[in-house]
């Protein structure tokens, strides 16, 4: 049985796979989305990206595994039509993404962006910045999408004394950091009471544009919006307008509509915004976690057990 690996792994992690599965023929053609690998007789593909042309040329392909949580960059319709099993890296990125979100909140509450900008310009801004500082303890965080990332963020926020409200398509009993749940139909009312709103959703037809201009307008002028999912979850122009008009206090966007962000994009100059350039999930532990997940699933695949982290390609999650 052949496994084609195009995802870049640390050498030690690749060696671990080779040693753990001597009966499997691994073919390694690494490179995140680059090149045009030969499908050969690969039954399993471990990749960051794959296009429809590759799948069409891979008659033996039965299972695709991606280390990312999101799968909206894949040819999902074709994967569904072929009946190819699809698994993702759900659970591998909760720690770094939630830590990035918390870092954004702490940066806003302490005025760090202003102090960092002032240092570069050698300006004394304490009289303006210090009075605007605030405490996160006692404030309300609304987490929209309480999966592995949202749950990790909820636990961390609760740990520093925030009140956490969870909103999800499916209530997760494992989200032990959530104080109170609201249904999707109650989202608008929850937005009006939140000090911080964090989007931790996958991008699907149901979630695309979930934070449009109307919902952003429901937020308090002292509230902050964070997008940790995909850029298309929010109306980016509406976010910029809300920031410029003082309708919301700030925004922390890990993902944007265009990546890389064009130099002339107005989001660069929007006030009180933090842009982390889709790096929230980056961690030196990623390769090890992705390898561990794939190794567990490969063992299951070889022994006929159900795969973990299965994604319904028609649903997108």
Tokens found for residue 28: 């390694």
- Cis amide prior to 260 (ω within 30 degrees): yes
CA-CA distances (angstroms) from residue 80 to 13, 64, 126, 187, 235?
A: 30, 11, 57, 31, 29
Active-site annotation holder among 73, 82, 278, 288 = 278
Instruction: Measure the CA–CA gap between 259 and 254, rounded to whole angstroms.
Output: 11
227 touches 233 (CB < 8 A)? yes
Strand-by-strand arrangement of the 180-182 sheet: 180-182, 163-167, 140-144, 196-199, 224-227, 250-253, 273-275
Q: What is the DSSP letter of 173?
A: T
Q: Which residues contact 225 (CB under 8 A, 6 or more apart)?
A: 197, 199, 211, 216, 219, 234, 239, 248, 250, 251, 252
Q: Is 259 a catalytic site residue?
A: yes
Considering 90, 93, 215, 230, which one is annotated as catalytic? 230
Catalytic option among 77, 81, 137, 259: 259
- Clarify whether 2 is annotated catalytic: no
* Residues labelled catalytic: 230, 259, 278
């Amino acid at each position: 049985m052949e496994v084609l690996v195009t995802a870049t792994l640390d050498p030690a992690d690749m060696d671990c796979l080779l040693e753990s599965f001597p009966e499997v023929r691994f073919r390694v053609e690494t490179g995140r989305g680059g090149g045009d690998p030969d499908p050969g007789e690969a039954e399993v593909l471990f990749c960051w990206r794959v296009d429809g042309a590759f799948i069409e040329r891979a008659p033996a392909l039965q299972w695709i595994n991606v280390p990312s949580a999101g799968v909206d960059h894949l040819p999902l319709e074709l994967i569904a039509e072929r009946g190819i099993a699809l698994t993702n890296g759900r659970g591998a990125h909760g720690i770094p993404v939630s830590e990035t979100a918390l870092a954004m909140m702490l940066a806003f509450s302490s005025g760090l962006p202003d102090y960092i900008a002032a240092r570069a310009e050698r300006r004394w801004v304490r009289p303006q910045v210090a009075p605007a500082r605030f405490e996160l303890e006692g404030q309300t965080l609304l987490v929209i999408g309480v999966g592995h990332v949202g749950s990790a963020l909820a636990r961390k926020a609760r740990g520093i004394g925030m009140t956490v409200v969870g909103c999800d398509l499916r209530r997760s009993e494992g989200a032990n950091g959530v104080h109170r749940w609201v249904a999707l139909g109650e989202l608008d009312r929850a937005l009006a009471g939140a000090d911080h709103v964090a989007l931790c959703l996958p991008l699907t037809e149901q979630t695309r544009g979930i934070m449009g201009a109307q919902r952003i307008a429901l937020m308090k002028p002292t509230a902050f919006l964070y997008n940790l999912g995909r850029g298309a979850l929010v109306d980016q122009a509406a976010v910029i307008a809300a920031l410029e008009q003082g309708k919301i206090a700030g925004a922390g966007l890990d993902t944007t509509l265009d990546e890389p962000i064009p130099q002339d994009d107005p989001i660069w100059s929007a006030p009180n915004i933090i842009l982390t350039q889709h790096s929230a999930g980056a961690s030196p532990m990623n390769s090890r976690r992705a390898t561990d997940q794939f190794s567990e699933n490969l063992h299951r695949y070889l022994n006929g057990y159900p795969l973990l982290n299965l994604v319904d390609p028609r649903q997108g999650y």
